[in-house]
Chains A and B, each alone.
Chain A
Amino acid sequence: MRLQIGYFLILFAGGLLAFHAPPERSPQTPSGKAPEGMIRIPAGRYTPFYSVNNDANTKQDVAVKSFFLDDKPVTNAEFLTFVKANPQWARSRIPALFADSGYLKHWKGDLEIGNIQIENSPVSNISWFAANAYSKWKGLRLPTLQEWEYAANAAPTGENKSVKEIILAWYSQPSRKTLPVAGSVFRNEFGLYDMHGSVWEWVYDFNSIVMGGDSRSNSAVQRELFCASAAFGAADREDYASFMRFAFRGSLKARYTVSNLGFRCAKDL
């Protein structure tokens, strides 16, 4: 049911947003070469935290096609250029349907960040609708959940820590007053910066796998959707870091804004 609503929202939003934010440019690149600021993620397979197979007993790897992904999260300064070009996405003008009252609340004004320290930090307090509109305006799109998880699973470079350790260390610290500058936390083997340890990130189909509000219940129906059960469907029950990421996504609606939630863009090859 949630899944259907999610698709409905996406279709609904997609229709409206085409009107709201016409593309600025469409990065044309020679075949296979990544646009500036993006990384070509090679095709591959990975084991999703939650099985997507109908049979929950067979945990299968998922194939992910090659795609481009921003090497860093979108910054406040970058998002400001979008709002300037599309003033209907300014704080005072955005319809309540597309963002809750926390939208860009950390900015000084509609077209003013007002804090030089955060200009190059990831933009946060933006709704899924806003992130999606920004991506379309750039001629890009939001990564899918599978793409994002696959890209974020890559090991860190030059660190002794595992991905899981980086995530758990982030969870165990209360939020900082200002978010770190985009690209300053860590780089992974794909060349992507800050996939963890800075902000959560919107994905296109954030609500396609729903962890129920009560993480212990189990539903016989749509097990892998409501598998929240914390037992069924999870590839690794001890992967607390992933549990929390999926729980976080499960608490969201597309119009929600959160102080630690940003996004980055993707593109087909």
Chain B
Amino acid sequence: MKRSVISITLTLAILAFVLPGCGPYADEGPDRDSLGGFHKAVLTDAPEVPPPTDYSTTQKVIVRLEIVEKIMRLADGVEYSFWTFGGKVPGKFIRIREGDYVEFFLDNHPDNKLPHNIDLHAVTGPGGGAEASMTAPGHTTQFTFKAINPGLFVYHCATAPVGMHIANGMYGLILVEPREGLPPVDKEFYIMQSEFYTKEGFGKPGLTSFDMQKALDENPDYVVFNGSVGANMGDKAMQVNVGETVRLYVGNIGPNLVSSFHVIGEIFDKVYVEGGTLINENVQSTAIPAGGSAIIEFKCEVPGTLTIVDHSVFRAFNKGALAQISVNGNENPEVFTGKQRDAVYLPEGSAVQSITPERESAEIPERSLDEHLKLGKVLYEGNCAACHQLSGQGLAGAFPPLANSDYLMAREDKGAGIILHGLSGKIVVNGVEYDGIMPQMMLSNDEIASVLTYIRNTWGNQGGLVTAEEVSAVRLGQ
């Protein structure tokens, strides 16, 4: 009796000594893994990402995924029999914190035909949980793992035949945030690349299904982001504002191909290489292996549409590996001006700078008016019409008219100087101001005489003959 009293007292004393160290916020030192509570994980469908973990203690996180076999859209007019984690492809995004205990439930819907399981690359243990989660249709399995390593990991079904379960849509991402969390950003998105091997081939309308031979040949019909062609294109593009920082959680499940992940018009400020701790900076394209990932960060400086591609580029433009981020806001000309000039480039014509400024011809006898008109028409159509138009009307606001042009008709040189030397800066033609650039044309005196004669005697113009001698005089500055 007396002995047990002493024992209880002693126990209480020890408890009193130890307990303060086991408080809910004891995150440092040997007690940092003591359980601070539990919660149900927020799960999201692509391209959404669950909010950052807002807790600083180790938690028990309950994750529940339901496996559903169902027909969904693969491309416009094309349907496919998908096998899914959570009813969509890719599967739900799972977000936990380093050190968390994950109580994982896998439900295999009773209407499913096949057993399934899950291999989470974030799991340290046999098969990544595959053996422990083997689930017959209409059943639920459960296992628990501790998230020891931080990083971005893929998960997938690993039931035989593994390749087919993956090829049919059974994959997703699980993010294990480091204890200290990730630096805050304005927007986060979930992007998963995968391939589909279909009996009917790319774009063939109707219901299609897995083609084993194409999978063995590693020759996919579709390479897509987020489970279907155009899943995040057009009005389903990811939305960002100018000035915002963006973090992409990118996974590639394959099942066969390595991704050359690239965003057209952006440079990745940071890449968490292969979804791990190593950070690379100022990257244009990053390789993501099948069964691997990358975390990518950049700032959207200017408005526009950023197109995400697999830069193994036939996959992008011929097999569907495209997605878009729409950046909304005001232009920032210091970073990017937009198009400042669009001039005609005629490498085989004459709109190039000459190294020898004068290309004088041998003596050509002066032509008649008819000859000049005939030759001038040909030269005009080859050298001038692209801007000034065949009708000589020009293009409003860009290229001044030549027909009934008060400016041209008033010039003493009859226009020869413009063709010989080019023209830039403000001019007023028929009361309208133009501020463009016309390049110097590489034409001989004779040719210029023909073009000018043609221009000055067509479309109602009445300007008479221009001779090569007159042009020569202008060229020589007389």
Residues of A within 8 A of B (CB): 100, 102, 168-175, 200, 211-217, 228, 230, 238, 240, 243-244, 246-248, 250-253, 256-261
Those 7 A-B pairs whose CB atoms lie nearest each other, nearest first? A213-B134, A251-B115, A214-B127, A172-B209, A215-B160, A214-B130, A213-B131
CB distance from A6 to the nearest CB of B (A): 16
18 CB-based A-B contacts, threshold 8 Å: A102-B110, A168-B212, A169-B209, A175-B69, A212-B131, A213-B131, A214-B117, A215-B130, A215-B158, A216-B162, A238-B216, A244-B164, A247-B115, A250-B134, A252-B136, A256-B139, A259-B110, A259-B111
Q: How far is the CA of A24 from the CA of B49 in the complex (A)?
A: 61
In the complex, residue of chain A having the shortest beta-carbon distance to the beta carbon of B133: A213
- What string of 1s and 0s marks CB contacts (under 8 Å) between B119-141 and chain A? 10000001100111111111100
Please give, as numbers and ranges, the residues of chain A lying within 8 Å of B110 by CB-CB distance. 102, 258-259
A246 with B136: CB separation less than 8 A: no
Q: How far is the CA of A252 from the CA of B139 in the complex (A)?
A: 10
In the complex, residue of chain A having the shortest beta-carbon distance to the beta carbon of B213: A238
B81 with A173: CB separation less than 8 A: yes
Picked from B126, B132, B160, the residue with its CB within 8 Å of the CB of A230 is B160
A213 with B216: CB separation less than 8 A: no
A256 with B81: CB separation less than 8 A: no
Please give, as numbers and ranges, the residues of chain B lying within 8 Å of A259 by CB-CB distance. 110-111, 137-138
Please give, as numbers and ranges, the residues of chain B lying within 8 Å of A171 by CB-CB distance. 113-114
Q: Interface residues of A: mostly helix, strand, loop or mixed?
A: loop
B160 with A257: CB separation less than 8 A: no
Please give, as numbers and ranges, the residues of chain A lying within 8 Å of B158 by CB-CB distance. 214-216
B160 with A243: CB separation less than 8 A: yes
Residues of B within 8 A of A (CB): 69-71, 81, 110-115, 117, 119, 126-127, 130-139, 158-162, 164, 209-210, 212, 216
Please give, as numbers and ranges, the residues of chain B lying within 8 Å of A172 by CB-CB distance. 81, 209-210
With A213-B159, A216-B130, A217-B127 known, 13 other A-B pairs at CB within 8 A are: A171-B114, A172-B209, A173-B81, A174-B69, A213-B117, A214-B117, A214-B126, A215-B159, A215-B162, A251-B134, A251-B139, A256-B139, A260-B113
Please give, as numbers and ranges, the residues of chain A lying within 8 Å of B127 by CB-CB distance. 213-214, 216-217
In the complex, residue of chain A having the shortest beta-carbon distance to the beta carbon of B69: A174
Q: How far is the CA of A172 from the CA of B113 in the complex (A)?
A: 10
Please give, as numbers and ranges, the residues of chain B lying within 8 Å of A258 by CB-CB distance. 110, 136-138
Q: How far is the CA of A69 from the CA of B444 in the complex (A)?
A: 98
Q: How far is the CA of A102 from the CA of B140 in the complex (A)?
A: 12
Q: How far is the CA of A184 from the CA of B81 in the complex (A)?
A: 23
Q: How far is the CA of A170 from the CA of B131 in the complex (A)?
A: 26
A248 with B114: CB separation less than 8 A: yes
CB distance from B166 to the nearest CB of A (A): 12
Q: How far is the CA of A100 from the CA of B140 in the complex (A)?
A: 12
Q: How far is the CA of A229 from the CA of B279 in the complex (A)?
A: 36
Contacts A172-B210, A258-B138; is A217 near B113 (CB within 8 Å)?
A: no
In the complex, residue of chain A having the shortest beta-carbon distance to the beta carbon of B119: A214
Please give, as numbers and ranges, the residues of chain B lying within 8 Å of A250 by CB-CB distance. 115, 134
In the complex, residue of chain A having the shortest beta-carbon distance to the beta carbon of B139: A256
In the complex, residue of chain B having the shortest beta-carbon distance to the beta carbon of A164: B212
Q: How far is the CA of A80 from the CA of B134 in the complex (A)?
A: 32
Picked from A100, A174, A251, the residue with its CB within 8 Å of the CB of B111 is A174
In the complex, residue of chain B having the shortest beta-carbon distance to the beta carbon of A106: B110
B161 with A230: CB separation less than 8 A: yes
Q: How far is the CA of A215 from the CA of B163 in the complex (A)?
A: 11
Picked from A169, A200, A211, the residue with its CB within 8 Å of the CB of B160 is A211
Contacts A244-B114, A248-B136, A258-B136; is A230 near B130 (CB within 8 Å)?
A: no
Please give, as numbers and ranges, the residues of chain A lying within 8 Å of B131 by CB-CB distance. 212-214, 217
Please give, as numbers and ranges, the residues of chain B lying within 8 Å of A230 by CB-CB distance. 160-162
CB distance from A105 to the nearest CB of B (A): 8
Please give, as numbers and ranges, the residues of chain B lying within 8 Å of A170 by CB-CB distance. 113
B126 with A217: CB separation less than 8 A: yes
Q: How far is the CA of A214 from the CA of B126 in the complex (A)?
A: 8
Please give, as numbers and ranges, the residues of chain A lying within 8 Å of B113 by CB-CB distance. 170-171, 175, 200, 260
CB distance from B246 to the nearest CB of A (A): 36
Please give, as numbers and ranges, the residues of chain A lying within 8 Å of B111 by CB-CB distance. 174-175, 259
Please give, as numbers and ranges, the residues of chain A lying within 8 Å of B139 by CB-CB distance. 100, 251, 256
Q: How far is the CA of A259 from the CA of B110 in the complex (A)?
A: 6
Please give, as numbers and ranges, the residues of chain A lying within 8 Å of B162 by CB-CB distance. 215-216, 230
B161 with A240: CB separation less than 8 A: yes
B114 with A247: CB separation less than 8 A: yes
Contacts A213-B133, A215-B160; is A102 near B81 (CB within 8 Å)?
A: no
CB distance from A259 to the nearest CB of B (A): 5
CB distance from A243 to the nearest CB of B (A): 4
Chain A CB within 10 A, most for which of B71, B114, B137: B137
CB distance from A172 to the nearest CB of B (A): 3
CB distance from A3 to the nearest CB of B (A): 17
CB distance from A48 to the nearest CB of B (A): 16
Q: How far is the CA of A251 from the CA of B117 in the complex (A)?
A: 10
Q: How far is the CA of A252 from the CA of B141 in the complex (A)?
A: 12
In the complex, residue of chain B having the shortest beta-carbon distance to the beta carbon of A200: B113
In the complex, residue of chain A having the shortest beta-carbon distance to the beta carbon of B134: A213
Q: How far is the CA of A115 from the CA of B161 in the complex (A)?
A: 36
